[in-house]
Amino acid sequence: MTDHTAIEKQEGNVAQVERTHSGKTYLPQVDIVEKDDEMVLLADMPGASPDGIDLNYEQGELTIQGLVKPRHDIESADLLLQEYGVGDFERRFKLGEGIDPNRITAEFSDGVLRVRLGKTAQSIARRIPVQTGE
């Protein structure tokens, strides 16, 4: 496979988007699978809904954001135990030159966001037959 389709995870002191509301933000757990003509990114986003997910591609960067509504009203609830943290999701990836921005699609089902990142024709690996010199 070619290295032009690499996705880079940003770490360290990365400029963050300023949030306009309080609450926790989680990094969704992600699997990335490379196929011949595309890469598929699977992100776990439990509690999110399709209308609360924002997927944006700009200048080679893919941003995934998912809003999660609280399970219950904390003010009126009499919680006996609370172990499950509820919050929004956000994750960013730098995409390599081999991804075609016009071939990015997404679907959301059962708490999992599936993003298909189609490769450019130039970055798709192809087998070259070797002929004999006879």
Q: Measured between alpha carbons, how far is 111 from 119 in angstroms, rounded to an integer?
A: 26
Q: What is the pLDDT of residues 1-19, one digit of tens each?
A: 444 556 655 555 444 555 5
Q: Is the pLDDT of residue 128 over 90?
A: no
Tell whether the model's pLDDT for residue 68 goes beyond 50.
Answer: yes
CATH of the domain at 91: 2.60.40.790
As for how many domains the chain has, the answer is 1
- Could you tell me if residue 132 is inside a domain? no
E strand intervals along the chain: 7-9, 24-26, 30-34, 38-44, 48-58, 61-68, 87-95, 99-109, 112-119
Which residues constitute the domain of residue 51? 3-9+24-71+83-123
Taking the model in full, what pTM does it have?
A: 0.74
pLDDT at 20 > cutoff 60: no
* pLDDT score of 8: 59
For residue 40, which of 108, 125, 121, 118 has the smallest C-alpha distance?
A: 118
* Residue 18 in domain: no
